[in-house]
Structures are given as C-alpha cells and as structure tokens.
A and B are shown apart, each in its own frame.
Chain A
Amino acid sequence: MQCFQGKSVYKGIVLGPVVVLKKNDYQVKRTRTEDPEAEIGRVEKAIEESKAQLQKLYDKALKEVGEASAAIFEVHQMMLEDDDYLEAIQNMIRTESINAEYAVAVTGDNFSEMFASMDDDYMKARAADIKDISERVVRNLSGQGDIDLSSIDPSVIVADDLTPSETVQMDKEKILAFVTVHGSTNSHTAILARMMNIPALIGVPMDLEQLENGMTAVVDGFKGEVIFDPDEETREATLKRMHEEEEKLKLLQELKGEENVTLDGHKINIYANIGSVGDIGYVLENDAGGIGLFRSEFLYLGRDDFPTEEEQFQAYRQAVQMMAGKKVIIRTLDIGADKQVDYFNLGKEDNPALGYRAIRICLKQPDIFKTQLRALLRAAVYGNLSIMYPMITSVEEVQQIYAIVDEVEKELQEQEIQYRIPEQGIMIETPASVMISDRLAEVVDFFSIGTNDLTQYTLAIDRQNEKLDDFYNPHHEAILRMIKMVTDNAHAHGKWAGICGELGADTELTEEFVRMGLDELSVAPSMILKLRKIVREMKVEE
C-alpha cells in the first residue's frame, strides 16, 4: 500500500484499475542526416498528419465539451501553420544536418520558452500548447501516432501531466479519475476534470516508474489522497463510501432548482464560501444562490510579491461574471494570525490572533488596501459584487474605511475609469462588534457573522490548543445569543444578517438559525443542498 497526498481539483471518491501514461517521446535523440531535404519532407508530412488529428479532436471536443473548450485545438492547428516555427525547424535541419525529430523537439522547446518567460498568465499557459503540438509532431514522425486512450477499460489515469489533447480524446465514460504529478488548478486537465465531474488530484509526488498498469488505486478527492495497492480494509471502506456518496448525491440532486423555503413559507438564502475563482464550478454545481464569502487571500498567498490591481480585477470580474447576476461577497484581505505571508514582513507576535491582522493591516498600510479596493470597485461594474470588511471592532474603523473608499473613488473618477460603489458590509467576529451592532447597523449595508473567530474570542479558547478541546462548546449559549442580537439589530435598521463561519454549516443548528430570522447562511458548496433539505422539511412555528 502506497499513499500520496495531492491537491484535489474535484471532490469525489473512486476505486479502480490504474492506467499509467509514461512519456517516452521527449528523450528525442539527435542524429546526423545525409539528406536534409528528405527530413524536411518528413516534417511536412508529420505536420499534415498532426493537423488532421487536431481537426478530429476539434470535432470531438465541439460535440462533447462545447465550443469554448474545443477552440484550443483550432489554435493548435493554426500554430502548426506558423511560418516562424516551420522555418526554424527547416533551418535547423539544413544548417546542422540533423534529424527531423530533434529539430522539432528543440524548436518546440525554444518557442515554448519564449511564452513561459512572458509577464502574462494567459500567455504563460500557451507554453504548454506549443509543447503539446511539438510532441504531437514528434510522435507522428516516429510513427507512434496518437496515444490511443479511447479503448481502455474504466480506469484511474495516472500521468506526469496531461495535455488538453490527451484529456479530450479519452472516452469520458471510461475515466474514473485523474492523478498527475504536475499541473495547476488552472490547467486544462483541472478544468476538464471539473466539467466532467470526476475526482482529480494534481501535484502528487509519486514516481511513475514504480507504478504499473492494472494496479488498483483509491482516489479520494475529499482528503486529497491517492492510495495504490490498497489493503482489503481500505478497499471495503472505499466501496462503502462510494456507495454512500452516490446515494447522497442522488437524493440531493433532486433538490437542485428548488427554493430554500420552510413548510410554512419562510425563506433563507444559502450561499457558498469559496477560496478561489476555481471553486466557482462547485458553487454552480451545487446550486448556491450566491457566494457569501469569497476569501481574497488566495490572490496573496503562495507568491513572493503583492498581486497587481490588474490581476485582482481580472479574478474578481471573472467571479462576478461567472455568477451571472447572483451575489458575490468578496472579503477584503484577511492576512495575519494563522495566515502568514513573507512579503508582508509582519514579524513575530506573542498573540497573533489578537494582533496585527486583516483590516488593521489595511488601515495602517493603505497602499495595499487601495489596490484591492480599486480592483473591487472596477469589477463591481460587471456584476452583483459586494465588499465585506473583516475584524471590525468600532464605528470609527468603518468611517476610516469609507474615507479610503472615497479617495479611491476620486482617483478612478479623475482617471475616467469605470467603477461602481457596491454594497459594503462587515464581518461580525469580535465581541465588541456584537455589543455595538446597533450602531454599526446604521453605517453598513449588512452583517456576516464569522463564528470561528467570534467563538474563539468570546470563549477565550485558542482553537489550535488541543488541551482546551473539553472546554470548547461551539453551541455555547453566549454565541447563540450574540447571533440573535446581531440579527435583531440588523433588522431594526433594515439591514440583513448572515453567518459565514463554520457554525453556519452545522446541521444541528440550521432550524434554530432559520427561526432566529437570519437572512443568509454561507457554507462550503458541498453543504448547500444538505441545508436546503433541512430548511424544506422544517416549520418556523412549532
């Protein structure tokens, strides 16, 4: 039994035989040729074959995954007609008297390098396309043709990385899961996996040489884990979970398109919490009414410098456009405490949870904040965007924020850049904000209760400290009273209140929350239909 962790692209669980795709074609050998013109002829023939294969892939993709995904194969065909690319190959064969395979492989590397070094994520991703077409030509040159992935048994596909042409030519009915060593959440593989609704893990540190076709694997997208050669116990547990998931899904699917309304007619919004644009697929798939918490940290984490306004704008705009008019609540930067980023140079603190974090950073370092606000105000033009500020403790903080928003607005006006001032609300996650929620309700558009921090601050319990587990009661009456108080204060001022912390997804409390009159619960996408079921089966008046 071998177990590896990776990044899960799609949550599902499956057990099945493995097909390992090993790439052998990039070990292209350099040989001398006596007849360069004959080699050039071979290249021309291989390119014609490649174009014909791509046309077939285009037709297949057009039928199965739609025009947008198929377009990539049209672009691949056009790339194969590129004069610079073709001339570079011919030139290399003539001047160095080398074999066609080597010239194509090296030219492909050179061109792909050019795109990989560009300062533009979209263009960077095109480097993979050039590699893909070059590999295809080399395969045709060496008579390997297309790898035939259409005639396999239903399998878990394991590979170093998958090119778009490899993923699309696979028969969807026969793919149980994807597991790859490389690939990003934005790669074609990840996008297709989400569209095909199959578990997929990327960035799995496994050695393909140790794996063989036909071995059994368990792919658990919930845990982000793949197990090769599972023992009997694991197999049985997996089969049981697969069955459970299937049953659950079947039941819940019936609730898609239904309203979140109680038997006696009370409605509540059930939105989704997400951490990146890539998660929107889950949001739509689970029929969320909107996005109640879009954590913007993903833009800041895992890099060495601040994201630009343009990068942020693109991400926010994409989110609101994909949600097509449904509400998207974006929480401004919540760095600090347990989320550290080197380039912020925050330094060590004795009490990070009570320290320099979230809105405090934004108010002290307004340059960082302004960049984000500019991106948000610009993106608001494209859809139903709301802004939510974290870690608020006073009305003065809100006023300071508004002053900065005013400055940003003036700048945008002067520069004649399109913008819109969207709905602005705050997270209620400090006991202070609960106590003055009547006054805060006068100045903000909505409240979203962050129960994780609120519980930690109210009960004086550090969630990371295991010794305190016995003292930790998430259903503590103090918390429930606070939620009620915040909701009532919001309503008294004609504002709305929701919960976006973990407690919102606690199915033991769903009925109570509806009775309290909360307007919204924002939960993990996978919880949406589960909560909808509870709401639809309950009555507010007992």
Chain B
Amino acid sequence: MKTFDYTIKDELGIHARPAGLLVKEAKKFTSDCTITKDGKTKKLTQLMMLMSLGVKNGDTVTVSAEGEDEDTAIEALKEFFEKNL
C-alpha cells in the first residue's frame, strides 16, 4: 500500500466539483484508493461519501492506494491534489 499526507490549500476545501473530478481520477485505476480525515476513511470512488467528509481548507488528509497499479495511482493522485486542491 502506498500513502501520502496532504494539507488542503484550496479555499473552499474539497467542494463538489473537485470531488467529482477526484472520483473520475481514482476510477482510472484498479487499486483501491481511499482518503482518510480524522480517522474516517472513504473510498475515493464514492462521490457523496467523499463530500460528506467535509474536507476544508487547512485540513490534512491521508490518501492511499492499494493494488496492482498502486505506484502509478498514488503518483497520479498526488499530482491531482497538488494541482487542484
């Protein structure tokens, strides 16, 4: 399993639109991708659940990928967070 921590810089946090794009990104891979905030873990393929975490600007989240393509998945997700969030 690969993971990284990330502190959200986007002023609105993970609001609806980036959440949707994040789900699209995560669905490209076969690995199980998850996001954890305050001990609560949600799959990155669950849009509404992801939004329900209410991740705000300044929150630190842990992102993980586990599966055959976990190396490429984690790299892609890292890039996505840095670019969009």
Interface residues of A (CB under 8 A from B): 71-72, 74-75, 78-79, 81-85, 111, 114-115, 118-120, 122-123, 126, 129-130
Contact = CB atoms under 8 A, between A and B. Distances in A.
Contact of B17 (A71, A82, A85, A120): A71
Nearest to B47: A82
B51 A115 contact: yes
B52 A83 contact: no
Contacts, number: 50
B47 A81 contact: yes
Contacts of B54: 118-120, 123
A114 B46 CA distance: 14
A114 B48 contact: yes
Q: Which of the four size classes fits the interface of chain B? A: 10 to 19
A129 B16 contact: yes
B45 interface: yes
Interface of B: 12, 15-17, 19-20, 23-24, 45-49, 51-52, 54, 56
Contacts of A120: 54, 56
B52 A115 contact: yes
27 contacts: A71-B16, A75-B20, A78-B24, A78-B47, A79-B20, A79-B47, A81-B47, A82-B46, A82-B48, A83-B45, A83-B46, A84-B46, A84-B48, A84-B49, A85-B48, A115-B48, A115-B51, A118-B52, A118-B54, A119-B54, A120-B54, A120-B56, A122-B12, A122-B15, A123-B51, A123-B54, A126-B16
Contact of A74 (B12, B20, B45, B46): B20
Nearest to B42: A84
B47 to A, nearest CB: 4
A45 B49 CA distance: 24
Given A118-B54, A119-B54, A123-B54, A75 B48 contact: no
Given A71-B16, A118-B54, 4 more contacts: A78-B20, A79-B20, A115-B52, A120-B56
B43 to A, nearest CB: 8
